[in-house]
Amino acid sequence: MIIASVRDLCLHLISSAFQRCHASEDLCRLSVILKRSPQSDPHSVLISVSDTGVGSCLEEFGGVKLRKEAFGAQIWGIADDEIYHYQFNLKENVSARRLTRLPSNPKNGLKFSGTEVCLSIIESIDVLVAEFTLFFQKILILKVPNVAIELVVEHGHDPGSRYVNVFLANECNPLSIPASNLERLKSGLEDYVLKHGNTLSTKCELCFSSWEHLKVGSGVACCTEGRKYSGSVMEAVIVISEISEVASTCPRTHGSKTEVLYFKDFSPCPIPQSSLKALTSIDWKSYGLSFGSVVVQGGFALVEWENLPPYVQIDIVLHHYHEQIPSGRLKTRRDQNLIKKAIRLALDDLKDNYAGVLLSAQALKIRSFAPDLAKTISSLILSSNDSEFRKECFSFLGLPSQGVGGEVVEDCIKERLITVVEMNDRDPQRSKEIPTFLFEDDHMQDSGSQDEEFEVEDAFSSMDVLKCNTV
Amino acid sequence: MEGKHSRWSSQPRPCDLLRKIRELTRAIVEDLSNGRSPEILIDRFRNYCTKPDSNCYCSSDLPILKETLTLRRESHLRRLDVLLRVLVIVQQLLQENRHGSKRDIYYMHPSVFSDQSIVDRAINDICILMQCSRHNLNVVSVGKGLVMGWLRFSEAGNMFDCINRPNTAFPVPIHVEEVKDIVSVAKYILVVEKESVFQRLANDQFCNTNHCIVITGGGYPDISTRRFLGLLVDTLHLPTYCLVDCDPYGFDILSTYRFGSMQLAYDAKFLRVPEILWLGGFLLDSEKYQLPQQCLLPLTAQDKRKTEAMLRRCYLQREVPEWRLELQLMLERGVKFELEALSVHELNFLSAVYIPSKIEGGVYI
């Protein structure tokens, strides 16, 4: 594995530790401790990444290849009856690198497992703390309940100089247990949005005075075809948040842009190029969204919309993982398709669960006819001199048979029209049916001859046929 | 009496139409109440096609397709909006047994209808949905047809005694279904394309010397004129001749009398007059009646396009191939003339020489 920077190496180690915790069914602890080196080397920082998870793998560390900096590291693996100690030098080439096994310590009959990686690097502690905090804020979105994370900074031997930050899932918006990965991801993204990217310890009361401000949709796409790729899962969660206007004073991270967070195998990671392509190729228009552009910033994608109303924010998280161990690398094309499918399902989920949300531009136009159409239909009912007919219509509409005003009938029909238009928009496949003319070839070829005719315009020239049946 | 049967049978009563309007409304309301998207099926008709093999069934008067109006497309919504607005007006007209013109309807929602043609299309859609003719909806157009000659009839109790003044123009009755007591001693019916020709014949006292009925729709004939002509043909069983300009528009007007128009194809069986014979003008009449060269005008590019398109109409080859030959000749020669050009010899040449000679000589097709 080639790692570009010390920062990436640290995040890789933390990510591995997190995955070992996730793999464990017991409660686990992940500790990241940063300690200033002794006076002799004031610029170097000692970093310890330790976890009580399972499944430590030596090769994971031995194969790490750094591009630039070089430094030493030590590994203490804890397993079985003894605690094993290893050491290798990252300055050496991967091929020449030797893992040196150091003397082991006995466990004295205790049953525990875990891994600790220590390394010494030259880097600013403040920079590292900011990086790690951001990483943990994101990892909380996964809402893995059995992992407690602590970030500790020790400036010296004085206990008062210790800085401790604890990251716990399931704090703000408790989940029922057991919850599926997707349920956790949904809840996690909700928390993330409510706490402005998990930068706050509780939800922002300024922006979100009630839970109803969030609309959440999710979709899962699985790759079931082909033995090689089966078990590949792509989960997408989309949160649409509407913040109250008083919140305009609250500093928000990305304004009206959408942060697309990407997780790979339970770890935040930079969004792959193929996923960006997938994002741009989604038919956002059919959900009433006008896709502007996408830029990658700090490993996550920022999508800019052209028509998002003020005070509306969209957040998207994608999680790609394997339910089984993959026997090969997922092809980019499949990856793209999975993303597109998962996002589409999430968008559809939002449409299904929240009336009037993500309506296509076409549906919005169609919906604008509802008041007029309702008025006309109500006129057809109310102006009929057949009282039985009127009663029958009222009964269909669930209205009392007498004493109903025209406006009530109108409103009732309007509501139903809007419901149907929104329903049709959720099932867009049928609207996309291509009109078929049985006699397309001779479709009013000499319609010019009718232009001057007195009676009517050319009845067929502007015809819009949705579907035609032969008779 | 086949014509009579096809043109005048099974006219729906207002109560039947009101029931159908209620059924349509009920179906829409029921669908909406059940969360279903209403669908309105509208048959689509045509009275001709342009298939080269003429292997069609355009003459069957059956619908060729069904269109479905739904709430899924903006264009459908616009059309539905207009259709239902017009339907409200029609329901009112039928309930109150009143009549309204297409123009009246247009002015009830001019901003929504935006154009008369939009209303006309909605009226056609309603006729198709209700399986009726426009007059059944109590919707009429301001008539522009004229009639004169050896004819007497009454319309809604009013007597039209053309025989008293056979060279005076009477308006063609709008409520043709209320025309009764038709009496005539005419020998034939002459349909002329243009009002100017009609007035020429009136001035020339044509009906004094020729015992006939002359009728004009003033260009493309409206529904009343065509229905009235059909009624006269069915009632009087007289030979019916048609005189049009020798140009593509004259031919198209002739075809409209004979076969009906595409726009009203759904009602063609009630509006066409298959008995009609083409009296002129034929292109060769210009030679036969020694029309000076300067009276022959070249066909414009638009004339040619229109002629070529009309030549492809299936009914010409199937039912009146000799008409088609005339039209083809016009295209080949690339010239046209107006009937008024015949006045080059003498002002009354049309009434004194041209028409009588053609009828007496049997020079019609």
- What is the fold of B146-360? Dna Topoisomerase Vi A Subunit; Chain: A, domain 2 (3.40.1360)
Question: Is A466 within 8 Å of B91 when comparing Cβ atoms?
Answer: no
H helices of A291-369, in order, are: 332-353, 361-367
Euclidean distance between CA atoms B48 and B42, whole angstroms:
19
Backbone angles phi, psi at A242, to 5 degrees: -120, 110
Total domains, chain A: 4
ipTM score of the complex?
0.86
Euclidean distance between CA atoms B99 and B178, whole angstroms:
13
Euclidean distance between CA atoms A293 and A340, whole angstroms:
17
Residue of A383, A424, A466 with shortest CB distance to B92? A383
- Residue B54 — very low, low, confident or very high, per pLDDT cuts 50/70/90? low
The pTM assigned to this predicted structure is 0.75
- Residue B77 — very low, low, confident or very high, per pLDDT cuts 50/70/90? very high
B195 in contact with A at a CB cutoff of 8 Å?
Answer: no
Are residues A373 and A342 part of one domain? no
Share of chain A above pLDDT 90, in %: 17
Are residues A347 and A376 part of one domain? no
Last residue of a domain, one of A119, A142, A168: A168
pLDDT digits (tens, 9 = 90+) for A366-414: 999 999 999 999 999 999 999 999 999 999 999 998 888 889 999 999 9
CB count within 10 Å of CB A38 equals 9
Asked if residue A250 lies in contact with residue A206, where contact means CB atoms within 8 angstroms, the answer is yes
- Residue A145 — very low, low, confident or very high, per pLDDT cuts 50/70/90? confident
B312 in contact with A at a CB cutoff of 8 Å?
Answer: yes
- Per-domain residue ranges of chain B: 2-140, 146-360
**pLDDT at position A44:** 78
Selection from B61, B220, B63 nearest residue A460 by Cα: B63
A226 Cβ contact list (under 8 Å, min separation 6): none
Distance of CA A174 to the CA centre of its chain: 19
Determine which of A26-40, A456-470, B180-194 has the lowest per-residue pLDDT on average: A456-470
Read out DSSP for B147-192?
Answer: EEESEEEEETTEEEEGGGSTTS-EEPPS-GGGEEEEEE--SEEEEE
Residue A445 has pLDDT above 50, yes or no: no
Count CA atoms within 13 Å of residue B328 on its CB side: 11
Q: What is the mean pLDDT of residues B173-187?
A: 92
Residue A457 has pLDDT above 60, yes or no: no
**pLDDT at position A198:** 83
Instruction: Work out the minimum CA distance from A186 to partner chain B, whole angstroms.
Output: 30
Q: Which domain holds residue A442?
A: 433-471
Comparison of pLDDT for A41 and A363, the residue scoring more: A363
- Residue A458 — very low, low, confident or very high, per pLDDT cuts 50/70/90? very low
Last residue of a domain, one of A168, A197, A221: A168
Last residue of a domain, one of A358, A391, A408: A358
Are residues A117 and A213 part of one domain? no
- Is there a catalytic annotation at residue B107? yes
Residue of B62, B68, B249 with shortest CB distance to A466? B68
Domain of residue A296, CATH code: 3.30.230
Q: What is the mean pLDDT of residues B88-105?
A: 94
Say if B2-140 and B146-360 have the same CATH topology.
Answer: no
In terms of DSSP bridges, do strands B158-161 and B151-155 run parallel, antiparallel, or are they unpaired?
antiparallel
Class of CATH domain B2-140 = mainly alpha
- If contacts are CB pairs under 8 Å, which of residues 7-36 in chain B contact chain A? 18, 21-22, 25-26, 28-33, 35-36
Asked if residue A372 lies in contact with residue B81, where contact means CB atoms within 8 angstroms, the answer is yes
Q: What angle separates helix B321-333 from helix B301-311, to the nearest 10 degrees?
A: 150
Residue B124 has pLDDT above 80, yes or no: yes
- Residue A120 — very low, low, confident or very high, per pLDDT cuts 50/70/90? confident
Question: Is B69 within 8 Å of A459 when comparing Cβ atoms?
Answer: no
Euclidean distance between CA atoms A115 and A237, whole angstroms:
32
Kindly list the residues from chain A whose CB atom is less than 8 angstroms away from the CB atom of residue B73.
Answer: 362, 366, 431, 464, 466
pLDDT digits (tens, 9 = 90+) for A255-281: 678 889 999 888 888 888 888 888 888
Are residues A73 and A210 part of one domain? no
Count CA atoms within 13 Å of residue A2 on its CB side: 3
Are residues A257 and A318 part of one domain? yes
C-alpha dihedral, A433 to A438 to A439 to A441, nearest 10°: 50
**pLDDT at position A454:** 38
pLDDT digits (tens, 9 = 90+) for A212-259: 678 999 999 987 655 555 678 899 999 998 876 655 567 654 567 888
